[in-house]
Chains A and B, each alone.
Chain A
Amino acid sequence: MQYRMTKLIGKKLITLIMTLFLVSVAAFLAFQIIPGDVVNAILGTEATPEREAKLREELGLNDPPVVRYLHWIGGVLHGDLGRSYRYSKSMNEMLPVAELIGDKLPVTLWLAALAVFFIVVVSIPLGVFWAQGKSHFLDAFLNVLTQSVMAVPSFFLGILVTYLFGMVLKWFQPGGYVSYQKDFAGFLKYLVFPAISVAIPKIAMTARFLRNSMLTEKTSDYVRTAKSKGCTDRQVMYGHVLRNAMMPVVTFLGMIIAEIVAGSIVVEQVFGLPGVGRLLISSISNRDFPVVEILILYITAVVIVVYFLVDLLYRVIDPRIREM
């Protein structure tokens, strides 16, 4: 059993690394086939041919793609993430991507973490409560409410939150931001409202999902068996139904987390948070490909690791899968 589990984790880890490798190749290749010359993009069209040639040499653009890929990925593995085409450190030195990303990562990660926290804390009790089917009216109300919330795009929700809590109620300063290095508590406080904007639609989705899952489980034969033993409704709910109903929800939450990493791109823009998402957007607009490549790798890594963890968790709670 123990051995099988270890072997399985090993196997999954190999797939994980393979996937990352493939994505790195894909990300690298995608930006090699892009029309338009990088050198022109950096220097503009009016630069002298000599300068262009020099830059081309510096960037290693004369090497064949395989060499360039190996050079790039080798650097990434050693912590050298390449240099931005766009931002410079000084006149003649381009800013390393690592430095550019370094202080933006915590913003995005904390935003995602806060949002996930809100989602789990609110949606699970809400879903369980909803599944008890107390009254027909409440059921219909929650149904319409969650449907409506899910129809609100995250950036519009961000704008509504800004307007309501920032401008009308003045609970926070729109556009304000405190660096986490200076004041961590203040930093978190600024992330609360963006995180709420990210979380609200996902809370609705997760609560609906959990509720449906519980209703399905409640019609199972084993629930009838539990009742025939003399279990109270509570004992049936928490002793039997919840665990079975949570299983699909775990997978669902994994997907939600992946969505949040992406969803925060938009919300960072709305609230003006200096996170990875905003950097990604500006890098795409500026065609700053070394940065885009690294950000894609980073987001991929987050998504894959989340799925990996969800998969393990699933095996822990479902004995049927554990065997396989």
Chain B
Amino acid sequence: MKEIAAKAMVKIEDLSVHFGETKAVEHVNLTVAPGEILGIVGESGSGKSVTALTLMGLVADSAKMISGRILFEDTVLAESGKPRDKALYRRFQGEQMTMVFQEPMTSLNPTKRVGAQVEEMLLLHTQLTREERYQKVCESFQAVGLKNPEKVYRAYPHQLSGGMRQRAMIAMATILHPKLIVADEPTTALDVTIQNQIIELLRKINQKEKNAMIFITHDLNLARRLCHRIAVMQNGHVVECRGTQEVFADPKEEYTRRLIEAVPSRMKPKIKIQRSNREPVAVVEHLNVYYHDGGGLLSRKSRQQVIRDADFTIYRGEVLGLVGESGCGKSTLSKALLGMNRDIEGEIRHFSTRPQMIFQDPYSSLNPCKTIEWLLTEPLRAAGEIDPAFKMSAADRRAEAHDMLRKVGLDEKYLDRRPSQLSGGQRQRISIGQALITKPGLVIADEPVSALDVTLQAQIMELMRRLQDEMHMAYLFISHDINVVYQMSDRIMVMKDGQIVEQGETEEIFRAPKDPYTQLLLQES
């Protein structure tokens, strides 16, 4: 490691970046050498993106460099106390260092052809003729595994799939063979199978071009698979920066250890299951669900089948996991189960009252203009209008709300706050409380931890399990992340293109997956 550090190509020395009062990055030292992939790992708000953007000269103008400097080979790109030298940066941006962003859809200009956007690199930095440029762009598309490069050249971003767009972005970033490529969460917006292709592509490029690469991610597993060295960031500081193997084998810092432990993994012992008597809460038989598109006065309705012949039972007190990639019909299935989608064939029988739902995004699942107390009492009030068993006085409702708030691990000072005053994790706690306060027999949790950082993920999952022990409801736990599902579930269903391809006991499926798609999913993650 020492040798690499000695011939480091990019050096970030004692970098501190503040946005007004917020200290985004504090005294960060990092180096990258040619041929090396450095992973920067951290949760949201840890300063990893700000560090990368500052290095690239792309950080917002409101950011202030408080201390340190950035060196690219022997050139000082930026130094604290000096204004950003945009002209100097432009000599490096695009030609010497490039960046791949998280959202390939929004990172490409929606009204320019993909080819023209890649070609702009050549226009800005080379003297090639028109034909040569076209040739070169097509070659670069081929190199990143885009079949039919002429077609991609002429396409607009919205005409390509997410994976293809990200390949085009990578083609753009590599076309001039830069010495440094910074990839900021390049696979986060993509499905697992595509994610792996992109990771392999980045690895291939790194091996062929021997350039330096900085790979920013919140996902320790990804960093582990791709990076030579890993820098762990927390609250703007680099807490640990060592070789990948060493970090995982023997994490020095408490925070790193927590991070590694929080990552859902099949290596770890599962949370213990206690199976009660097999009493069903919901039975689904031969369920077909259709989705309607459009349908106005002038346009004809198109009816698409989303779910094909689903057959399963959820039992009291268990967690049934449902795993699949985006667009496979997981959410449609959950909506049908809750009666929110009416166009169905087959049978859904509920043996419990008022199934509830926990949503993915804690920011949109709580009414922003209400107080926490209102949010927790409203379900009881609504239930009281339907079911005499829930008829109670306003004071009783408040008492129940206070009780629930404690159960989800928050105290009473939150009662008169509004959702905007809470953090993401706190909101998800309220969201869970809101779903459970009417004691439903079945709770559908649609990606309840996907929007959260790993350490929070672990806490929320534990909270859900603990509340289940107390209240004995069943969960249908939906996730795209097979490791998260493994951690939570007693039984698992795997879904692909609207069909349940495999279901069974969690351990069994992980030990001996029968369906080829399940095998693929298990391999990839």
A interface, CB within 8 angstroms of B: 220-222, 224-233, 235, 239-240, 243-244, 247, 317-320, 323
Contacts and interface: CB of A to CB of B under 8 A. Distances in A.
A228 B106 contact: no
Contacts of B109: 222, 225-226, 240, 244
B301 to A, nearest CB: 17
Interface stretch (B93-101, B209-217, B433-441, B468-476): B93-101
B276 interface: no
A244 B111 CA distance: 7
Contacts of A220: 106
Interface stretch (B117-125, B424-432, B488-496): B117-125
Nearest to B158: A320
Contacts of B92: 230
Contacts of B89: 230
A230 to B, nearest CB: 4
12 contacts: A225-B172, A227-B57, A227-B93, A229-B93, A229-B94, A230-B90, A231-B90, A231-B120, A232-B90, A244-B111, A317-B111, A319-B111
B58 interface: yes
A206 to B, nearest CB: 20
A133 to B, nearest CB: 10
A222 B90 contact: no
A229 B124 CA distance: 8
Interface of B: 56-58, 86, 89-95, 98-99, 101, 103, 106-112, 120-121, 124-125, 156, 158-159, 169, 172
B120 A229 contact: yes
Given A231-B120, A319-B156, A221 B106 contact: yes
A318 B109 CA distance: 11
Given A228-B56, A229-B172, A320 B156 contact: yes
Residue among A220, A229, A247 with most chain B CB within 10 A: A229
Centre residue among A230, A235, A320 by max chain B CB count within 10 A: A230
Contacts of B98: 228-229
Contact of A221 (B103, B124, B172): B103
A240 B111 CA distance: 9
Contacts of A226: 109, 120
A318 B157 CA distance: 12
A221 B157 CA distance: 13
Contact of B110 (A230, A231, A232, A320): A320
Contacts of B124: 229-231, 235
A143 B434 CA distance: 45
B106 A230 contact: no
Contacts of A225: 99, 101, 107-109, 169, 172
Given A225-B107, A230-B124, A233-B86, 13 more contacts: A221-B101, A224-B101, A227-B57, A229-B94, A230-B91, A230-B92, A230-B94, A230-B125, A232-B90, A244-B110, A244-B111, A320-B110, A320-B156
Nearest to A225: B107
Contacts of B159: 323
B121 A229 contact: yes
Contacts of B101: 221, 224-225
Contacts of A323: 158-159
A227 B56 CA distance: 10
Contacts of A222: 106-110
Nearest to A11: B298
A265 B107 CA distance: 47
Contacts of B57: 227
A228 B111 contact: no
B170 to A, nearest CB: 12
Contacts of B103: 221
Nearest to A220: B106
A228 B98 CA distance: 6
B107 A240 contact: no
Which among A222, A232, A239, A243 has the greatest number of chain B C-beta atoms within 10 A?
A222
The 3 A-B pairs at the shortest CB distance, nearest first, are namely A230-B94, A230-B93, A221-B106
Contacts of A232: 86, 90
Nearest to B92: A230
Contact of B111 (A221, A227, A318): A318
A221 B101 CA distance: 9
Contacts of B95: 230
Contacts of A240: 109, 112
Nearest to A235: B124
B18 to A, nearest CB: 20
Nearest to B110: A320
Contact of B107 (A221, A230, A320): A221
Contacts of A319: 110-111, 156, 158
A5 to B, nearest CB: 16
Nearest to B61: A133
A77 to B, nearest CB: 26
A233 B58 CA distance: 12
Nearest to A247: B111
B58 A227 contact: yes
A221 B110 CA distance: 11
Nearest to B113: A319
A11 B511 CA distance: 59
Contacts of A244: 109-111
Given A229-B120, A229-B121, A224 B107 contact: yes
A231 B125 CA distance: 10
A53 B57 CA distance: 87
Contacts of B112: 240
Contact of A224 (B58, B90, B125): B58
A233 B89 CA distance: 12
Contacts of B172: 225, 229
Nearest to A229: B94
A16 to B, nearest CB: 14
A228 B99 CA distance: 7
A323 B159 CA distance: 9
Contact of A243 (B58, B94, B111, B158): B111
A224 B94 CA distance: 12
B123 to A, nearest CB: 9
Contacts of A227: 57-58, 93
A232 B124 CA distance: 10
A221 B99 CA distance: 12
A27 B169 CA distance: 56
Nearest to B124: A230
Contacts of A320: 110-111, 156, 158
A229 B172 CA distance: 9
A27 to B, nearest CB: 23
A225 B58 CA distance: 9
A318 B92 CA distance: 32
B334 to A, nearest CB: 30
